[in-house]
Amino acid sequence: MRTSILLRLTLWNASVLAIILVTFAWAASFTLDRVVQQRAATVVRESARAVAGAILAERRAAAARGEVEEVRGEHEQAVLRELRVGDLDIFITDESEQLMAARQPELTEPTLADAVSEAAVEAAQRQRERDAARPAVVLPPAVRALMTDVRAQREAGALSDSSVVVRQVLLENGPARAALLRVEPDEDDTDEPALLITALRPEQDDVLLLRQVHTAIFFAIPMALLVSIVAGFLLARRSLAPLEAIVARTSSITAANLDDRLAVVNAHDELGRLAQIINDLLGRVGDAFRTQRQFVADASHELRTPIAIIRGEADVTLRRAERTAAEYRESLQVIHGESVRLSRIVDDLFLLARVDAGGQTGHGEALRRDAVDVHELLTDAMRSVRSLADSQSVALTLREPTEGTAALVRGDAALLRRLFLNLLDNALKHAPAGSAITLVPQCGDGLCTVRVADEGPGIPRDQRERIFERFVHGVQERPTVGHVDHTAGAGLGLAIAQAIAQAHGGRIALLDVPRGATFEVSLPLIPTAGDQP
């Protein structure tokens, strides 16, 4: 399913936050549960030890005073009355599990020492009467079962006699944490029995606390997620507002308003850089569109001239009822010449389109990448135009390269031959009779350069920047209907040569010379074994 970036950002934010909150809630709940359990275990363990220490101290003090225990468990009960152990239940038994003393918070009576007024004394007396009316304290079955289990483990050697056993037991009113400690009498006090002290702490308060925490977490997580979703949605929408503006503005740009640009609010953030890149792209598209439009207009102009001539000759020939064979021949020669020119323009346009489309030949095939000897290529090109040069009384000179210098480039031999033929043809069109055209090849620093120099009138400075543009005729004027030079080109020769050079990784430059025109072709050489690092 396709979703918007705004929705995806919101969902991702909510999902990540949900994972974090659930993980935190689980960790917090687990940690709190462990802390509560450890605290309860510590309380009952230390309380059992405190009771044991107090009983031993009471026994020693009674022995020092010479007191004799008249009632069994009297000392232990006195200790429980005086010792403050909070809300814990304390049960003291002998090893036969006979209850000797017990303390339960709801059965604790206030002492006369705590009564500082007659009302307090009366309240203490009424508490004794209520306690007397209550049933006797009974050792809970869960505590008795704990004592039996611990005794079995000690007899089996799994537990030592002095260790404190802390476990959870289930009472009638709920779970509780229990600590069981065995207290041995002093060595010189053989009359006192060994005691089993059990400290119980009910867990109802802890369970209530954990339940409240879980309830708070249960309601807090959805609320936090809801707030996060709303805040994330608003924040994402605000952050993506420039992107929406970019989309709306870009969708309104057509071929009719390619000069329009996007507003760059902040050029240093991602959306600002995106807007700047789109503006640069629109600039390049606009330049290409204008170039294409100019190219179409120029091509239409160049094609219109020969077509108009062919149509005019045909109309004139057909308008007259009778014509001589010589007149027909003259008209057909004009039509043939313009047809050849028209065919050459179409072929040149087709070649340019193919090269611009990705380095392809005019037959739709990819450029060949063969090893081509530049000197042989120049020799063959000069041989092809020598008869035309002789007819114009123009001398062709090819300087020999330095001996031992390899002039091998990688490319399509046919296209490279076309490149140099176009340069020679351009030079022959402007070279006066009795002048010379010189080709100077030179190789070095990974490049092969060939200079084609003529002794013609040269190229005016105001036209040098546009000399490689398509349909630029240089110093010649465009032909007009009725005054046609059939040898004149369409202004595509240098443009084709430059396109071929660029398709081979090179370039053509017009050099600044005092006389004539000199074009320099630069092509990358094929690395030889000596050039490898």
pLDDT on residue 119: 59
Predicted confidence (pLDDT) at residue 282 exceeds the cutoff of 70: yes
- CA-to-CA separations, 391 to 19, 281, 422, in angstroms, rounded: 90, 51, 18
Q: Which of 105-119, 316-330, 420-434 has the highest mean pLDDT?
A: 420-434
108-117, 194-203, 385-394: which range is least confident on average? 108-117
CA nearest neighbour of 449 among 525, 505, 513? 525
CA-CA distance, 177 to 293, in Å (whole number)?
A: 92
* Per-residue confidence (pLDDT) for residue 114, from 0 to 100: 45
**21 close to 224: Cβ distance less than 8 angstroms:** yes
pLDDT of residue 395: 92
Tens digit of pLDDT for each residue in 358-374? 555 444 456 678 888 88
Residue 201, strand partner residues: 177
CA distance 133 to 117: 25
Q: Virtual CA dihedral for 21, 26, 28, 33, nearest 10 degrees?
A: 160
Q: Which stretch of 91-105, 259-273, 474-488 has the lowest confidence by average pLDDT?
A: 474-488
Say if residues 508 and 520 touch (Cβ distance below 8 Å).
yes
pLDDT above 80 (res 517): yes
Question: Among 105-109, 230-234, 333-337, 378-382, whose mean pLDDT is lowest?
Answer: 105-109
In angstroms, the first-to-last Cα distance of the chain is 55
Q: Whole-number mean pLDDT of the chain?
A: 80
CA distance 293 to 219: 67
pLDDT in tens, 3-35: 678 888 888 888 898 899 999 999 999 999 999
Long-range contacts made by residues 102-108, C-beta under 8 angstroms, separation at least 24?
Answer: 102/137, 102/139, 104/137, 107/131, 107/134, 107/137, 108/81
The amino acid sitting at 431 is: A
According to DSSP, the β-strands at 370-373 and 195-202 are unpaired
**pLDDT 10s digits, 312-331:** 888 888 887 777 888 888 88
Rounded average pLDDT over 349-354: 73
CB neighbourhood size of 72 (10 A): 13
Q: What is the pLDDT of residue 533?
A: 44
Q: DSSP letters of 230-252?
A: HHHHHHHHHHHHHHHHHHHHHHT
Of the candidates 244, 249, 242, the residue with the CA atom closest to the CA atom of residue 282: 249
Distance CA 105, CA 98 (A): 21
Question: Minimum mean pLDDT among 198-202, 434-438, 464-468: which range?
Answer: 464-468
- Can you give the pLDDT at residue 356? 65
Which structure tokens are listed for 149?
A: 């289990």
pLDDT digits (tens, 9 = 90+) for 175-184: 999 999 988 8
Provide the pLDDT for residue 109.
45
User: What's residue 117's pLDDT?
Assistant: 53
The overall longest dimension of the chain from CA atoms, in Å, is: 169
Distance, CA of 446 to CA of 505 (rounded, Å) = 12
Reading the block at residue 70, the tokens are 């008249």
pLDDT at 474 over 90: no
Backbone angles phi, psi at 175, to 5 degrees: -70, 155
Other CB atoms within a 10 A radius of the CB of residue 320 amount to 8
Tell me if residue 487 falls in helix, strand or coil.
coil
The pLDDT assigned to 366 comes to 60
Reduced 3-state DSSP string for 220-231: HHHHHHHHHHHH
Contacts of 337 (CB under 8 A, 6+ apart): 486
Beta strands in 303-435 (DSSP E): 370-373, 395-398, 408-411
Provide the pLDDT confidence category of residue 344 given band limits of 50, 70 and 90.
confident
- Give the Cα-Cα-Cα angle 63, 67, 71 (nearest 5 degrees): 115
Q: What is the DSSP letter of 112?
A: G
pLDDT for residue 480: 37
pTM of the model: 0.49
Per-residue pLDDT of 32-67, as tens digits, reads 999 999 999 999 999 888 888 888 888 888 777 777
Higher pLDDT, 484 or 160: 160
Of 405, 413, 386, 349, the residue nearest 530 (C-alpha):
405
> Residue 439 in contact with residue 451, Cβ under 8 Å?
yes
Is the confidence at residue 115, as pLDDT, over 60?
A: no
The arithmetic mean of pLDDT across residues 335-354, rounded, is 79
Please give the Cα distance from 305 to 33 (Å, whole number).
Answer: 97
pLDDT score recorded for residue 443: 85
